[in-house]
Structure 1
Amino acid sequence: MDFARRLYQRFSALVHELAKFGSIGAVAFVIDLSLLNLCNSVLDLGPLTSKVVATTISTTFAYLGNRFWTFRHREQSGLGREYFLFFLLNGIALLFGMLTIGFTTYTLGLHDTLSFNIANIVGVGLGTLFRYWSYKKWVFLEATEPIPVELPEGGVKQER
């Protein structure tokens, strides 16, 4: 039991961060999948245009959730910088989805909804691995100074 406790203590921050990242990602995935199918099947925008629209909207949600919940303990290097990098990296991750959907639709000639959604899920999975790594490396940076958890021992001095 002592080994398990030490292991948890060593990796607890990572476990909590991954759980939050996964929660935000799950909601963003539902947004992405819903909008993707709405745009493709109902609005008939086409598979690739539908993917771009759905990803743009779900990415905005994911940025806000990750910035203000998952990685809130990390240094904030400016909303504009983070937002730009976040969308740039999501644009790269979008390529995974575009490639899998394009390959399935245009190379394999599979135009049914099930094949379309499976291709999307594979692309999202590959993109998620890339996004987690890249957010930690370039967007939500480690704090250069420890972020205080509580007030200093003397409390806050009030001037009279």
Structure 2
Amino acid sequence: MDLVRRLYDRFASLVHELAKFGSVGAIAFVIDLGLLNLCSVVLDLGPLTSKVAATTVSTTFAYAGNRFWTFRHREQSGLRREYFLFFLLNGIALLFGMLTIGFTTYTLNLHDTLSLNIANIIGVGLGTLFRYWSYKKWVFLEATAPIPLELPETGVRQDR
């Protein structure tokens, strides 16, 4: 039992961070999948254009969720810098989805909705591995000083 406790103590922050990252990612995935199908099936935009549109919207949601919830305990190195890097790295991760969808549609010649969705799921899975690693490495940096859980006293009195 002592071993389990020590393992939990050692990896608790990582487990919590992964759970939050996964929750934000799951919601972003639903947004991505829904918009991909809306753009592709209903609006008939084409599979790659639909993927870019869906990823743009889901990435915006994911940035807000990860910045203000998943990685809020990490150093904040500037909204512009983080936002730029976040979208740059998501652009790289988008390539995984574009390659799997492009391969499925244009090489395997599978144009049905099920094949599009399976290719999208594979691409999102590969992209997620890259995104988690790259966000921790370049976007949401480790705090150089402990970040307080509560806001510091400002000395300004608020009358009710």
TM-score surpassing 0.5?
yes
- Contiguous gaps of at least 5 residues in structure 2: none
- Aligned to 1:120, what secondary structure does the other structure show? helix
Corresponding residue for residue 77 of structure 2? 77
Distance 1:38 1:150, change over 3 A: closer
Identity of aligned residues (%): 85
* Paired letter, 1:44: D
Structure 1 residue 149 displacement after superposition: 3.3
Distance 1:141 1:3, change over 3 A: same
Structure 1 residue 157 displacement after superposition: 9.3
Structure 1 residue 151 displacement after superposition: 8.0
How many angstroms apart in 2 are the aligned matches of 1:36 and 1:143? 36
How many angstroms apart in 1 are the aligned matches of 2:146 and 2:32? 35
Query: Which residues in structure 2 correspond to 1:60-71 (within 5 Å)?
Result: 60-71=60-71
* Paired letter, 1:83: Y
- Contiguous gaps of at least 5 residues in structure 1: none
Paired residues in the alignment total 156
How many angstroms apart in 2 are the aligned matches of 1:122 and 1:22? 16
Structure 1 residue 148 displacement after superposition: 2.5
* Paired letter, 2:49: T
TM-score normalised by the chain length of structure 1: 0.94
TM-score normalised by the chain length of structure 2: 0.94
Distance 1:92 1:3, change over 3 A: same
CA offsets per residue over residues 33-81 of structure 1, 9 Å max, x none? 0000000000000000000000000000000000000000001000000
Corresponding residue for residue 128 of structure 1? 128
Corresponding residue for residue 113 of structure 2? 113
